[in-house]
């Protein structure tokens, strides 16, 4: 079984292997019309590396580890597209990114970043629209049954799996903080939120990093951060940065975001 430390070593050794394009583990094909805030963060060569979400006409939200040690000029974003395509014309260039000042690569903590675009997106509310962000410190009901949630992205279908280019979605259970800590043997923090299914083998994998954990379909409660490998092995749910704990930080660092 891969541990969190092994995952981090993998990330440092080979971005192409750790974050290939593909699909969510045991997800189903979807369309951008259902998730018009979804964006594909691409490498300098144009291949998918991470997910991201539109939060304002000039601002994109993603995971800190998706941009750490990269140059803004090496990043492009594909938007308004169900299918990933290196030659797609719906591309955005990144002016700069803001990595959380307390981001820790070793612990994968404060795993959040903002990307500022050149120019502005124009919403059509069909294929281009912002995700809804929660209020500061919003918490889901802490029940043993958990709360229904969902995940969208282009991550691989299994660890080391085959590339697929169509946007995927999967329904998940958002676990209570207590259950999250229990399942991960106290290896999470108050700034994390967990989601998966009890039987395992459904949820995030490499390439889903930076994408959204959604509540009620449009409210982004989490940013895909890390997971135990192989992807979605039970009983470990996927780990996300808890967005509601960073709303003040988002407001502070980008104008007119919220």
Four-point Cα dihedral 28, 132, 111, 21, nearest 10: 30
Active site members: 65, 111, 209
> Is the preceding peptide bond at 230 cis, omega within 30 degrees of 0?
yes
CB 106 within 8 A of CB 226: no
How far apart, in whole angstroms, are the C-alpha atoms of residue 48 and residue 154?
8
Locate tokens 């279908």: which residue? Answer: 157
The C-alpha atoms of residue 202 and residue 208 are separated, in whole angstroms, by 13
Q: How far is CA 45 from the centre of its chain?
A: 21
CB neighbours of residue 74 within 10 Å: 12
State the residue for tokens 């299994």: 158
Residue among 148, 146, 144 at smallest CA distance from 217:
148
Beta-bridge partners for 93: 76
The rounded distance, in Å, linking the Cα atoms of 60 and 131 is: 10
Q: Residue 153 in contact with residue 204, Cβ under 8 Å?
A: yes
């Amino acid at each position: 079984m891969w541990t969190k430390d092994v995952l981090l070593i993998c990330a440092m050794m080979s971005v192409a292997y750790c974050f290939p394009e593909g699909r969510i583990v045991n997800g189903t094909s979807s369309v951008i019309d259902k998730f018009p805030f979804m964006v594909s963060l691409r490498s300098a060569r144009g291949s998918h590396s991470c997910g991201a979400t539109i939060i304002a006409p000039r601002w994109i939200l993603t995971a800190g580890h998706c941009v750490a040690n990269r140059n803004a000029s090496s990043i492009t974003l594909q938007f308004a597209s169900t299918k990933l395509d290196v030659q797609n014309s719906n591309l955005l260039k990144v002016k700069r990114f803001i990595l959380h000042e307390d981001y820790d690569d070793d612990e994968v903590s404060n795993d959040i970043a903002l990307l500022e675009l050149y120019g502005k997106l124009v919403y059509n509310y069909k294929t281009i629209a912002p995700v809804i962000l929660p209020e500061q410190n919003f918490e889901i009901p802490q029940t043993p049954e958990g709360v229904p949630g969902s995940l969208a992205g282009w991550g691989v279908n299994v660890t080391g799996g085959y590339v697929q280019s169509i946007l995927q979605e999967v329904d998940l259970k958002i676990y209570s903080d207590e259950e999250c800590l229990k399942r991960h043997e106290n290896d999470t923090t108050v700034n994390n939120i967990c989601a998966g299914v009890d039987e395992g083998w459904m949820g995030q994998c490499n390439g889903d990093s930076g994408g959204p954990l959604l509540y009620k379909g449009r409210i982004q409660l989490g940013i895909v951060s890390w997971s135990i490998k192989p992807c979605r092995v039970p009983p470990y749910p996927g780990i996300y940065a808890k967005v509601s704990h960073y709303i003040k930080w988002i407001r502070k660092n980008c104008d007119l975001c919220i």
